[in-house]
Amino acid sequence: MTVIHSPYPDIIIPELSLPQFLTAGTDLFPEDKKLFFNDDISASLSDIKDGSHRLALGLRAQGYKKGDVIAFFAPNQVDMPTVSLGLLACPVTITPANPTYPVEDLAHQLEVSGAKAMFTVNALLGPAREAATKAGMDTSKIFVFDRKGEDGAQSWAELQAPESELASFDYGKVDPKNDVAFICFSSGTSGKPKGVMLSHYNIVSNVMQTEVLTAESFTQADSHIGLLPQYHCYAILITYLSLHKGVAQYVMAKFDLTKFLSILEEHKMTFTFIAPPVVLAIAKSPETKKRDLSCLRRLSSGAAPLSEGLRRTLLSVLPHVVLTDGYGQTEMSPLIAVQQIADTAHSLKSCGPLAPNHLAKIVDDHGKALGRNEDGELLIKGPNMMLGYLGGNNDGVWDGEGFLRTGDIGHFDDRDRLILTDRKKSLIKYKGFQVSAAELEDYLVSLPEVSDAAVVGVYSEAQATELPCGFVVPAPGVDRTEENKKKIIDTVGGRVAYYKKLRAGIVWVDAIPKNPSGKILHRMLRPQCPQVE
């Protein structure tokens, strides 16, 4: 059996709670260094440490305790590190929710997670209270990140114990390996969204693993923009990594390309973690070339697959920037692999080497282990692997040796770099041949006539097989004509094997549906597929 080991030596993971690991003090950088900031406020390690400890004491005084769950429902906040570490030091469990959720979806997460309280912002008090009522949660337990509450809501700052009580703070009794720090909702490796239970140890492990993988270009001399949505596991990791390493982060409430480019230029940012939709926006916008982004050295993409074509398009616009890809899953806290700068000279397709303390294998549909350069499902194991799904519905999640079934298809090359080719559930089967939707999407997005694209399979009763169908957002100035459809279909058809052609044609659309991390929601496109013979 071929088991792939990380090329990095194993590292020792301390058995500490997240607050203890991140706020116990450091000699690596000044505690008064401004770490998280926007145009209005900022927070240093000293601010975060004192603020989180006082919040933990205040929450304990109100009766919150281990086992309680508190929800976050807010756009990105400078005070998120302080508030989250205060809750975890109480210690309670956090379940972060998408701030764009409709009331029904938020109510569902509150109910399923058993949340007893919620932190939101003044602007979202209406839907937060409505969802809480539907879920049976006491609306008086809704607090705000804003430093002054409105409409009767308390600010998190008002929950803090007096500064005079700081001397009585302790980190509480936490079992780092077994106590749940976060319940993050994920699509899972299959099926409906599930609550992923991540322990303190899981996340401490992943912070330390990521520290190794980003050592060459994420240092105290660097600065970056925090634009990943903080309810997403990827953003939680990067937030805590920034705090651990002392790297300054400008916190953007939400992504806006013009604002993003202005921050890069004005603050001379050197490094930013992003997702593919942001890469696409930067690469396709004429505004990018008008900015002085000479200080920007590296962009690290994650949360969704980054195609080779999109990479090349971005690098043609910003040739001085190193663009690397990474791979992870919420179930792994989330990071699994990050492409190194040297890797880009070998291949633009890889996600890089496994993080330290990881084992992986590639298996076929029958569970048989495959060798290098053979495509199959990726199975993974490491100290950052989740405790399980909320509610205990874990059937088929792990194999008999404790490896997590990721649902992703790919292989390891001769250098043990991970190369992903598709999601198991998004493969299209054409007359027995496997067709990668991601590969066709890569070709489409690389065309000048295309702004964005997705590919799904549409079943043909007459041919008894699936046919690839493209959904295309035309580039500005490109008319939605049959002639342009044919041109795109013929161009792609000239590049791929005969069984990969877009035999079900192309559908013009205004936008490609994606989840907040940038993964294409193929299921939402299937009802729009044309009827085929």
Residue 219, CA atoms < 13 Å, CB-side half-sphere = 5
Q: pLDDT confidence of 409, banded at 50, 70, 90?
A: confident
* Residue (of 300, 328, 33) closest to 209 by Cα position: 328
CATH number of 427-528: 3.30.300.30
CA 94 to chain centre: 17
Angle made by CA atoms 94, 386, 60, in degrees to the nearest 5 = 25
| Best CATH choice for the domain 17-28+38-175 from the list 3.30.1490.190, 3.20.20.70, 3.40.50.980, 3.40.50.300 | 3.40.50.980
Sign of CA dihedral 131, 135, 137, 143: negative
User: 410 forms bridges with which residues in the sheet?
Assistant: 376, 420
Cβ atoms of 69 and 116 within 8 Å: the answer is yes
* Residue (of 502, 498, 523) closest to 513 by Cα position: 523
Q: How does DSSP assign 231-267, residue by residue?
A: TSHHHHHHHHHHHHHT-EEEE-SS--HHHHHHHHHHT
Q: What distance in Å separates the CA atoms of residue 66 and residue 17, rounded to the nearest whole number?
A: 13
First to last CA, the chain: 44
Instruction: Give me the pLDDT at residue 190, please.
Output: 47
Residue 24: Cβ-neighbour burial (10 angstroms; 0-12, 13-18, 19+): exposed
* Residue (of 162, 161, 151) closest to 120 by Cα position: 151
Residue 351: Cβ-neighbour burial (10 angstroms; 0-12, 13-18, 19+): buried
* Residue (of 233, 57, 55, 238) closest to 145 by Cα position: 55
Range in 197-201, 308-312, 326-330 the model is least confident about:
308-312
Q: Is the pTM value of this prediction over 0.75?
A: yes
Domain ranges (residues) in the chain = 17-28+38-175, 202-380+405-423, 427-528
Between helix 200-213 and helix 233-245 the angle, nearest 10°, is 70
Q: What distance in Å separates the CA atoms of residue 444 and residue 309, rounded to the nearest whole number?
A: 9
Q: pLDDT confidence of 1, banded at 50, 70, 90?
A: low
Beta strand extents in 397-476 (DSSP E only): 404-412, 418-423, 428-430, 433-435, 450-460, 465-474
Cβ atoms of 520 and 454 within 8 Å: the answer is yes
Residue with tokens 């989180």: 52
Range in 328-337, 356-365, 429-438 the model is least confident about:
429-438
Is 3.30.9.10 the CATH number for 202-380+405-423?
A: no
DSSP tag of 57: H
Q: pLDDT confidence of 193, banded at 50, 70, 90?
A: low
Give the pLDDT confidence of 258-316 residue by residue, as tens digits. 999 999 999 999 999 998 888 888 998 999 999 999 999 999 998 777 778 888 889 99
Q: What distance in Å separates the CA atoms of residue 52 and residue 95, rounded to the nearest whole number?
A: 17
Peptide bond into 75 cis (omega under 30): no
Is pLDDT at 41 greater than 90 in this prediction?
yes
Residue 214, CA atoms < 13 Å, CB-side half-sphere = 30
Give the pLDDT confidence of 219-262 residue by residue, as tens digits. 899 999 999 999 999 999 999 999 999 999 999 998 899 999 99
* Residue (of 49, 42, 51) closest to 21 by Cα position: 49
- On the question of a common fold for 17-28+38-175 and 202-380+405-423, the answer reads yes
